[in-house]
Amino acid sequence: MDASSPPLVRLVNPVGVCEARHTGLAPRLDTLDGKSIAELAVMDFARGVFLKKLTRTGQTMPFLSETRVERGDLVTLIGSEKDVERAARSLGYPDRKTVMTDMIFVGAGIFLGGMLGLLTIVVGGLPLTLTASGGALIMGLVFGWLRAVRPTFGRIPESAMWVFDTVGLTVFMACVGLAAGPSFFSGLQKSGLSLVLVGLIIAVLPHAVAILFGRYVLKMNPVIVLGACSGAGTITAALRAIQEEAQSELPALGYTVPYAIGNILLTAWGPVLVAMMS
């Protein structure tokens, strides 16, 4: 599995393109977890295959020979059909493209999320609840983790994910705009441009402080810091823009964990902040 070799074999044998998840299902996976690409490349199953892409939690990751493969990673291999199949069996589980959606998996996540959102906890006389959307988000994170570590179930085609991620998000934002439009302009008339100024400060200041702190105090790579800020703001479009500007997939390394934490905090703290300001 040579990370630097050109994948010319794809032109000769396109049937040999396969995606395999490093899952822990194969007998030898306990010894493979955390191995670098260079270490995997010298193993017997790696003969005749080339690493085309490494995907972690849905994000394409940059890779070098020192990059370590973790459980749940999706590796795209190229080579002859028999070589790719052999490598896929040794790495874990072949994750083949499909047009079928596991509706039981999706439906169970939505149902359990809705039930979780019905729960209310009273703290200091203040009722706290995740609501149905917050519960669905939490269960989405849980089910997404289950899919990552045990990808034998819960298949959703990439095209369906694109619809949910792009079209669904666009429709959601349009509905939010339609609902907030009248109150926004009425608030603008009452508060004037100060409302716009406060909104600008709230949007820019936390990210500016985070970038300066990560760059000069933590000594982090600037593009990783920018990826973390886009994740904390739960803005996938910002990550795409940063990757295009940097011409690198490196910002994705800082995106995933802040994105999950940001989604949880935005949902959980919404009712608390509203109650504090009312």
Strands 49-56 and 74-79: antiparallel
* CA distances for 198 relative to 192, 208, 243, 273, 275, angstroms: 11, 15, 29, 17, 20
Q: Residue 20's beta-bridge partner residues?
A: 75, 94
Using the structure block, give the residue that is written with the tokens 């493969």.
69
pLDDT at 180: 73
Q: How many residues does the chain have?
A: 278
How would DSSP label each residue in 162-174? Answer: HIIIIIIHHHHHH
CB 55 within 8 A of CB 74: yes
Q: What whole-number distance in Å separates Cα of residue 32 and Cα of residue 30?
A: 6
Q: Name the residue among 231, 233, 232 with its Cα closest to residue 243.
A: 231
Exposed, middle or buried by CB within 10 Å (0-12, 13-18, 19+), for 134?
buried
Q: For 141-181, write each residue's pLDDT tens digit.
A: 788 878 877 777 888 887 887 777 677 767 777 777 777 77
pTM of the predicted model over 0.85:
no
Q: Residue 120's beta-bridge partner residues?
A: 129
pLDDT (tens, 9 = 90+) of the chain, 278 residues, equals: 544 433 322 223 333 445 555 544 333 444 677 888 888 888 888 888 888 888 876 677 888 888 888 877 888 888 888 888 888 888 877 777 777 888 899 899 889 988 888 888 777 676 777 777 778 878 887 888 788 777 778 888 878 877 776 777 677 777 777 777 777 777 777 777 787 788 889 889 999 999 999 999 999 999 999 999 988 888 877 888 888 888 887 888 888 788 878 877 776 676 667 767 76
C-alpha dihedral over 74, 80, 86, 88, to 10 degrees? 10
pLDDT at 212: 94
